[in-house]
């Protein structure tokens, strides 16, 4: 644990920019994030609401090529993509966003390793920031996190007057700050244990989801759902994707990996016309069940970090925390 | 770093039209190193690409005991299968695989084996049939019950004849009532009712079932009636799959990814899944 | 008393409707759609400056269509969508009971205080604040004066750009698109069973959120809505990356009015713009 003056932290950031690192910081109002070119553009504010789009774009872009193909007379040449290796540092990630990275890393690495994800994730350093924002849509404490949760962060910052209090949590974080140790003053601070007042019994929710697959609840809770993909696309843990081919000319093209969502009507449509999830109620059931039961059964992690984005941004104001509360009350 | 989404190249060396809408490709892997090391087990599937159109999932229909070539059979249904039909001998496609789990060949040894298939559902089962026939003496009685809507919808016709002429297996071919031709010498009736008529001995027998959902729906209760328990009935599930690697979420049913934990499931495992496939 | 509660209660008790689609308060500055099928939930219904959703989007849904008589809370802009859906033969007039009120505008987005600064842009130039098509009118406040609209100045700004500058403007905006299709799903006039972007034989519009495909998608949607968009602005409100979709719709509306003297969804029975032709149609733009 270390203390560092804000201006010294800025000096470190400028030095990192100079040595070719890509620094991602939130914009002035916290609504979105961007690459910054100097520490003057840094925006470290613990009162920001979670940004509209999540940070997953950095390791799992909305579209990316998998390989190029070129058809010749009687053959096809496949050209490889060079894996991304740009060193990226995200500054000021909320606990709900930082945790999401390690959560989705599990699905991208079980058995087969998705190196499109890994090459970006391995080269990304996440500097988390203790969060002081809470509204009625947040429920990070219900899913095992809290406003000072350090899970998923390589380095964690707490604001302390004119200083930052820094925790260096991983090898990556240690190596990053190695050349700058002179700026850091070692200090032990007593960690205040967060008040984690939980009202949801996640085991109970899981059991109810298992036992009530055909319940009318799924219909009544999602009747107003429009079936767009907004919730899945802005969610930091949703990771479903589509693979399509795109041609430049008759002979050449590339295969793309794009964001996809189980909420779309045609997500499970077979070429034969059969659609196992043919009404929105079934698709919404999949969203809740996947996040709170299936992913947990498979990877021991919830596929939700309680950031509340989906609820804030839903065009018809469906609130995922309300859904879980209703299940919990059954 | 490996690119798990990149296919290897396969050339079409033979085309067989099974029915008006079903075609079989015989493929040869073009990368000699890859071809030498390529193995798979019966029941696994692969992703076949037409570059420029997309990728499609079919089981590998040839037996793992025959390694010079790979066969797949597909029905014309959507974008990629339409594009596959336009290809000729000598054209190349992409091949990614083998993926998924496989039929429990080892557990079937020294037991009776009952194959039940309907329509194009014979394709994944055919792979296992040849696998068993190539190792015939490791299995006891082998029975094949296969049916299709009509005579022209029967796939692998040349092999059906071969199986019928063999003395070491019992083969029963049927067509749906109304699908017979005037010179049809086989059975007439829906597959489930023919299974009931044949009444195979369920003691020490493993049943492999594959076909359209409705055929499976009516066959399972009959097998249970005859005395098969849920762990001795095995099926392979067709589901919309994309990556084949357990990541894209398309084939996710409950806590299971059909492309990784399947497509081969026992009836017992199938019953435990949420009923949405 | 013609307040919402009494009207709704009366409709159910006299069996005039078997479903009411309305709004329910979530907190002081947000509402959500609610489907009320009996007297039990009638007291949840509200209709205020935070009733942003265009509920007519539900009228073309299969599970809603099976009801015999549907009451729907609709602002003037929403009613234009209902009228257009009737004119396009998507719903039957007799099955719908339109419950409306004199509207003093809604907020730009949930969570904002209702005041002059936060009134939605569409409300400032609204011509149907007192709707002309409706079945029941709820008591409401007198019409307030709303601020001057700015949409036409924004459209003029775009119009005054050179084609290259305009292209650059939209290239920049569309590159943000993530193809979530929230705009399409929230739009009451986007009711195609299988949207052009979901068709893949042939692949009319590429599905990847690349610049070129996003251009195709957003432009094809603008084209398919020409003469059909009623300017409710839901598409822009729901867009997660704040693409100014209303500018496109506003420009379309201006052109269709200028060239064809046609404003979408004003009169039941009016022939649709692109669904009809007459020999007197203006052709001077065909060179």
Residue A57 has pLDDT above 70, yes or no: yes
Cα torsion A62, A59, B80, B32: sign: positive
CB A148 within 8 A of CB A194: yes
Q: Is B213 on the interface with A (CB under 8 A)?
A: yes
The answer to whether residues A118 and A147 belong to one domain is yes
Residue A188 has pLDDT above 90, yes or no: no
- Determine the structural domain holding residue A5 and report its residue range: 1-59+71-192
Kindly report the nearest CA distance between residue C35 and chain A, in angstroms. 8
Residue A264 has pLDDT above 70, yes or no: yes
- Tens-digit pLDDT profile for residues C156-176: 999 999 999 999 999 999 999
Q: A: neighbours with 3+ CB pairs under 8 Å? A: B, C
Residue C35: list chain A partners with CB under 8 A: 223-224
Say if the Cβ atoms of B92 and A289 lie within 8 Å.
no
The Cα–Cα gap between B203 and C152 comes to 81
pLDDT band at A172 (very low <50, low <70, confident <90, very high): very high
**Mean pLDDT of the A157-180 span:** 94
Q: Is B153 on the interface with A (CB under 8 A)?
A: no
Q: Give which of B71, B46, B59 is closest to B210, Cα–Cα.
A: B59
β-bridge partners, A128: A93, A156
The Cα–Cα gap between B125 and B219 comes to 16
CA-nearest residue to B3 within chain A is: A115
Rg for chain C, CA atoms, rounded: 20
**Mean pLDDT of the A204-216 span:** 95
| Structural domain contains residue A65 | no
**Mean pLDDT of the B46-72 span:** 92
The answer to whether residues A36 and A184 belong to one domain is yes
Say if the Cβ atoms of A239 and B55 lie within 8 Å.
no
CB B172 within 8 A of CB B190: no
Q: Is A228 on the interface with C (CB under 8 A)?
A: yes
| Structural domain contains residue A153 | yes
Question: Which of C40, C60, C178 should be substituted to probe chain A, the one whose Cβ sees the most A Cβ atoms within 10 Å?
Answer: C178
**Tell me, what's the pLDDT at C287?**
82
Q: How far apart are the first and last CA of chain A?
A: 44
Strand B233-236 to strand B205-210: parallel, antiparallel, or no bridges (unpaired)? parallel
Residue C32: list chain A partners with CB under 8 A: 224, 316-318
**Tell me, what's the pLDDT at C1?**
59
Structure token digits, residue A252:
């050449």
Residue intervals in chain B for CATH 3.40.50.80: 105-236
Residue C23: list chain A partners with CB under 8 A: none
The answer to whether residues A203 and A181 belong to one domain is no
Residue intervals in chain B for CATH 2.40.30.10: 8-99
Split into its structural domains, chain A has a count of: 2
Mean pLDDT of all residues belonging to chain C: 93
Whether CATH 3.40.50.80 fits B105-236: yes
**Please, what CATH class does the domain formed by B8-99 belong to?**
mainly beta
**Tell me, what's the pLDDT at A129?**
96
The answer to whether residues A327 and A235 belong to one domain is yes
**Tell me, what's the pLDDT at C280?**
84
- Tens-digit pLDDT profile for residues A228-253: 999 999 999 999 999 999 999 989 99
Residue B238 has pLDDT above 90, yes or no: no
Say if the Cβ atoms of A78 and B240 lie within 8 Å.
no
Domain termination residue (choose one: A134, A163, A192) = A192
Residue B3: list chain A partners with CB under 8 A: 66-67, 80-81, 115-116
**Tell me, what's the pLDDT at B148?**
93
Interface of C with A (CB under 8 A): 26-27, 30-35, 53, 57-58, 63, 110, 178-182, 184-186, 194, 198, 206-210, 213, 234, 237-238, 240-241
The answer to whether residues A220 and A316 belong to one domain is yes
The answer to whether residues A4 and A137 belong to one domain is yes
β-bridge partners, B8: B95
The answer to whether residues A170 and A227 belong to one domain is no
**Tell me, what's the pLDDT at C153?**
82
What secondary structure does DSSP assign to B133-180, as a single string?
HHTGGGSS-EEEEEEESSGGG-SSHHHHHHHHH-SSSEEEEEE-TT--
Residue A193 has pLDDT above 80, yes or no: no
Question: Which of A317, A319, A323 should be substituted to probe chain C, the one whose Cβ sees the most C Cβ atoms within 10 Å?
Answer: A317
**Tell me, what's the pLDDT at B212?**
86
The answer to whether residues A154 and A208 belong to one domain is no
Residue C279 has pLDDT above 90, yes or no: no
How many residues does this entry show for chain A? 330
| Structural domain contains residue A64 | no
Residue A266 has pLDDT above 70, yes or no: yes
Q: What percentage of chain B exceeds 90 in pLDDT?
A: 81
The answer to whether residues A33 and A82 belong to one domain is yes
The answer to whether residues A2 and A46 belong to one domain is yes
Mean pLDDT of all residues belonging to chain A: 94
The Cα–Cα gap between C233 and C255 comes to 17
The answer to whether residues A47 and A176 belong to one domain is yes
**Tell me, what's the pLDDT at C141?**
80
**Mean pLDDT of the B116-124 span:** 91
Say if the Cβ atoms of C63 and A229 lie within 8 Å.
no
Q: Nearest 5°: phi and psi at C210? A: -90, 170
- Tens-digit pLDDT profile for residues A13-56: 999 999 999 999 999 988 999 999 999 999 999 999 999 999 99
Domain termination residue (choose one: A192, A214, A237) = A192
Domain termination residue (choose one: A192, A208, A242) = A192
Predicted interface score ipTM higher than 0.90:
yes
Residue A63: list chain C partners with CB under 8 A: 208-210
Higher pLDDT, B238 or C93: C93
Q: Nearest 5°: phi and psi at A5? A: -75, 145
Q: Is C201 on the interface with B (CB under 8 A)?
A: yes
**Tell me, what's the pLDDT at B256?**
92
The answer to whether residues A182 and A95 belong to one domain is yes
A to B CB pairs, distance under 8 Å: 118
């Amino acid at each position: 644990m270390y203390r560092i003056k804000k201006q010294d932290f800025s000096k470190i950031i400028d030095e990192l920019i100079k040595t070719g690192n890509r620094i991602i910081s939130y914009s002035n109002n916290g609504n979105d994030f961007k690459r910054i070119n100097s520490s003057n553009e840094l925006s470290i504010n613990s009162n920001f609401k979670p940004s509209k789009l999540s940070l997953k774009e950095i390791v799992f872009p909305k579209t990316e090529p998998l390989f190029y193909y070129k058809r010749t007379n009687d053959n096809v040449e496949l050209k490889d993509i060079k894996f991304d290796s740009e060193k990226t540092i995200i500054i000021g990630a909320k606990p709900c966003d930082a945790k999401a990275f390690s959560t989705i890393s599990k699905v991208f690495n079980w058995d087969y390793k998705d190196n499109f994800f890994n090459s970006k994730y391995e080269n990304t350093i996440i500097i988390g920031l203790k969060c002081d924002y809470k509204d009625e849509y947040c429920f990070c404490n219900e899913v095992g996190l809290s406003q000072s949760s350090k899970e998923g962060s390589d380095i964690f910052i707490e604001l302390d007057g004119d200083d930052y209090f820094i925790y260096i949590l991983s090898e990556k974080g240690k190596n990053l700050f190695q050349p700058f140790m002179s700026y850091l003053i070692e200090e032990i601070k007593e960690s205040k244990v967060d008040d984690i007042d939980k009202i949801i019994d996640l085991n109970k929710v899981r059991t109810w989801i298992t036992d009530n697959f055909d319940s009318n609840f799924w219909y009544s809770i999602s009747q107003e759902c429009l079936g767009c993909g907004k919730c899945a696309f802005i969610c930091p843990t949703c990771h479903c994707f589509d693979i399509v081919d795109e041609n430049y000319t008759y002979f050449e093209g590339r295969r793309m990996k794009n964001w996809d969502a189980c909420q779309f009507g045609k997500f499970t449509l077979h070429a034969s016309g059969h659609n196992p999830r043919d009404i929105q109620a079934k698709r919404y059931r999949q969203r809740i069940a996947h996040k709170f039961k299936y992913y947990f059964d498979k990877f021991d992690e919830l596929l939700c970090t309680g950031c509340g984005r989906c609820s804030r941004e839903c065009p018809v104001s469906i609130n995922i925390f309300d859904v879980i509360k209703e299940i919990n009350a059954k | 770093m490996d690119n798990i989404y990149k296919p290897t190249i396969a050339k079409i060396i033979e085309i067989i039209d099974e029915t008006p809408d079903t075609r079989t490709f015989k493929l040869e892997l073009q990368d000699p190193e890859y071809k030498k090391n390529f193995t798979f087990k019966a029941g696994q599937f692969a992703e076949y690409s037409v570059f420029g159109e997309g990728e499609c999932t079919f089981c590998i229909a040839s037996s793992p005991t025959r390694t010079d070539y790979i066969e797949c059979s597909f029905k014309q249904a959507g974008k990629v299968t339409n594009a596959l039909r336009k290809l000729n001998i000598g054209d190349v496609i992409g091949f990614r695989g083998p993926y998924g789990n496989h039929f429990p060949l080892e557990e079937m040894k020294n037991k009776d084996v009952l194959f039940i298939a309907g329509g194009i559902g014979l394709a994944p089962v055919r792979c296992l049939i040849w696998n068993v026939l190539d190792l015939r003496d490791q299995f006891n009685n082998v029975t094949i019950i296969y049916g299709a809507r009509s005579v022209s919808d029967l796939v692998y016709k040349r092999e059906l004849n071969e199986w019928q002429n063999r003395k070491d297996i019992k083969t029963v071919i049927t067509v749906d009532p109304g699908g017979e031709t005037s010179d049809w010498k086989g059975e007439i009736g829906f597959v489930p009712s023919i299974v009931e008529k044949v009444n195979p001995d369920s003691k020490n027998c493993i049943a492999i079932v594959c076909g359209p959902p409705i055929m499976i729906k009516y066959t399972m209760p009959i097998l249970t009636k005859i005395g098969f328990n849920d762990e001795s009935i095995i099926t392979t599930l067709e589901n919309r799959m994309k990556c084949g690697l357990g990541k894209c979420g398309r084939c996710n049913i409950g806590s299971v990814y059909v492309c990784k934990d399947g497509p081969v499931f026992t009836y017992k495992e199938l019953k435990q899944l949420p009923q949405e496939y | 008393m013609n307040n919402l509660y009494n009207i709704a209660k009366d409709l159910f008790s006299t069996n005039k409707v078997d479903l009411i689609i309305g709004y329910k308060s979530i907190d002081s500055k947000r509402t959500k759609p609610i489907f009320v099928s009996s007297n039990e939930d009638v007291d949840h219904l509200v209709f205020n400056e935070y009733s942003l959703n265009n509920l007519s989007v539900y009228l073309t849904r299969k599970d809603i269509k099976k009801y015999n008589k549907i009451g729907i809370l609709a602002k003037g802009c929403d009613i234009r969508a209902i009228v257009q859906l009737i004119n396009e033969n998507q719903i039957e007039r007799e099955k719908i009971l339109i419950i409306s009120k004199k509207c003093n505008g809604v907020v730009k987005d949930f969570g904002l205080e209702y005041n002059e600064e936060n009134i939605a842009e569409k409300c400032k130039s609204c011509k149907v604040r007192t709707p002309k098509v409706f079945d029941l009118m709820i008591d409401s406040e007198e019409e307030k004066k709303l601020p001057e609209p700015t949409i036409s100045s924004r459209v003029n700004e775009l119009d005054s750009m050179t084609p290259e500058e305009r292209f650059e403007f939209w290239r920049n905006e569309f590159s943000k698109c993530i193809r979530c299709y929230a705009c399409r799903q929230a739009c009451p006039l986007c009711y195609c069973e299988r949207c052009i972007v979901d068709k893949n034989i042939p692949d009319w519009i590429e599905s990847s959120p690349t610049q070129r495909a996003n251009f195709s998608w957003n432009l094809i949607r603008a084209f398919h809505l020409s003469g059909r968009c009623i300017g409710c602005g839901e598409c822009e409100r729901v867009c997660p990356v704040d693409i100014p979709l209303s500018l496109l719709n506003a420009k379309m509306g201006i052109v269709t009015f200028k060239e064809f003297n046609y404003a979408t969804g004003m009169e039941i029975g009016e022939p649709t713009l692109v669904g009809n032709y007459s020999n007197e149609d203006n052709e001077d733009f065909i060179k």
